[in-house]
Amino acid sequence: MRVVFMGTPEFAVPSLRALIEMGEEVVGVFTQPDRPVGRGKKIEKSPVKLAAEENGIPVFQFERVRKQEGLDAMRSLAPDVVVTAAFGQILSKKLLEVPRLGTINVHASILPKHRGSAPINWGIIMGDETAGVTTMLTDVGLDTGDMLLKREVRILENETAGELTNRLSVIGAELLKETLSLYAKGEITPVKQNEDEMTYEPMLTKETGLIDWNKTSKEIACLVRGVNPWPGAYTQISGGVLKIWMAKAADEETDEAPGTVIRASAKEGLYVACGNKTVIEIIEMQAPNAKRMAAKAYLMGKKIEIGTRFGEA
């Protein structure tokens, strides 16, 4: 089949490679325009663009693929099917009408739960025990199309969003292979989503990582994992922003006010009071103007006073 692939981040790369391994004729790749990255604002290509160039596949980049130039490019490729995976733009009805067999999306949640652009992150933030991938037929709604196949896995203890994303990217590629093979032969019956079970979560922003110490230690630990590596969990302290990269709920209670440091030593570690009398251990952190390091290692050279209130500038 003639296939057009649309994707941008690292999550999408295994799915593109799966199409190549299957021997499909990938006639073009659409990906987001090159963007400035990091403090130096160096312009970088997306992971999908790099993978496409490695395999000699033509790359198309549009700020708004819905506009006429995007539609013209898609029509010129005359695809039998379009495959999308974390592309990052909404497709128009006219674009969706181009491929003869429709558009298949690799979505990183068990639909209809966690529609939106960051389903892996929000699943962890909300304390889900399982995650997964759904292949679906794309329509004009946001992740509202009919479902094809699903693959569910357990979220590992202490697994971060970055780690789970890497794992699901491989699972998604495997599921895409199975989906395309069966779909091309007419051996999959699309299933409509139950709108009563639908959840939709917003895009991540830097503010998503701000810790509310009134939440329980379990909720805060889930937030820390769910926003790792981006945008990262953080709290205000005297002197700037303290980033928290790894934390876990402690098996103890306290009557101290949420956000209060209750223990802080190189031997014991760093413990902070949270909502509902719960306590969290900060395992890995990054103090203002310091490197990312284990909390115990930081406390070997620096002091954090017991009674310090996190969340206060």
Q: Which helix (H) or strand (E) holds 105?
A: strand 103-107
Supply the pLDDT for residue 303. 94
Q: Which of 144, 4, 29 is nearest to 81 (CA)?
A: 4
* Cβ-based burial of 312 (10 A; exposed 0-12, middle 13-18, buried ≥19): exposed
Q: What is the pTM of this model?
A: 0.96
Which regions in the chain score pLDDT beneath 70? 313
Dihedral of the alpha carbons of 193, 137, 180, 57, in degrees to the nearest 10? -140
Supply the pLDDT for residue 40. 79
Angle at which helix 13-21 crosses helix 47-54, to 10 degrees, equals 20
- Rounded Cα–Cα distance for residues 68 and 71 (Å): 5
Q: Which domains does the chain have, with CATH numbers?
A: 2-197 (3.40.50.170), 206-301 (3.10.25.10)
DSSP character at residue 98: S
Write the CA distances from 293 to 232, 235, 245, 300, integer angstroms: 14, 16, 9, 11
Supply the pLDDT for residue 313. 66
Q: How far apart are the first and last CA of the chain?
A: 58
**For residue 299, what are its two tokens?**
């406390």
Supply the pLDDT for residue 41. 82
- Rounded Cα–Cα distance for residues 272 and 258 (Å): 8
